[in-house]
Amino acid sequence: MTRIVVANPKGGVGKSTLSTHIAGYFASQGHRVLLGDADVQQSSQLWLSLRPHSANPIGHWEVDPSDIGKPPKEASHVVLDTPAGLAGKQLKEALKWANKVVVPLQASIFDIYATRSFLDELAQSRHADRLDVGIVAMRVDERTLAADQLSAFVGSLDLPTVGTLRDTQNYVQLAANGLTIFDVASARMERDLAQWKSICHWLDH
């Protein structure tokens, strides 16, 4: 079973966008996918409730935020969206069963410092040796100084940056309809699909 945890203790970095799109990608490949949400705001589950029946199916994993537990065995691919402030027991429970951790990171000095501490915590986890950790740079405008700062930070890490996603309304509009870029055949999505190629490659290997 492929088991993905999307995590960063900083709020508003794009965890739900990544979680829903990772689930959407796996579903587009014909896999049996479950999407769980350990955040009390339940953004991913709201998205799932909006998903049309005509779209590639994604199942709901009912998660108790205070006791995450193990995912059901009937799925081949599981994605867990996690809350801001993820740490301690809750983080340890999520890492027990994960084989990949996706860390979204925005080009903000506040996000960079919060993520630095989180990556240190991941490295010190008893499960670190078997975890595959990858960073996805979120809402990046490559023309800005902030993007340069982000590039310098991730370059200092001994972790792969598996993808860079631009800031676009495509994600906002798709989320309102329970969809992902993998569900829509449109020329407007071509640039975003191209950015996802490296992420999808990492997820599959």
Most confident of 91-95, 106-110, 133-137: 133-137
User: How confident is the model over 35-62, as pLDDT tens digits?
Assistant: 999 998 899 999 999 999 999 999 999 9
Percentage helix, strand, coil for the chain under 3-state DSSP, each rounded to 5 = 40, 20, 40
Residues in the chain: 205
Query: Residue 51 to residues 56, 139, 154: CA-CA distances in angstroms?
Result: 9, 23, 34
This model's pTM is above 0.85: yes
Instruction: Say whether 63 sits in a helix, a strand or coil.
Output: coil
Find the mean pLDDT for residues 178-194: 95
Domains of the chain: 2-204 (3.40.50.300)
Tokens of 20: 């829903």
Are the C-beta atoms of residues 176 and 169 closer than 8 Å to each other? no
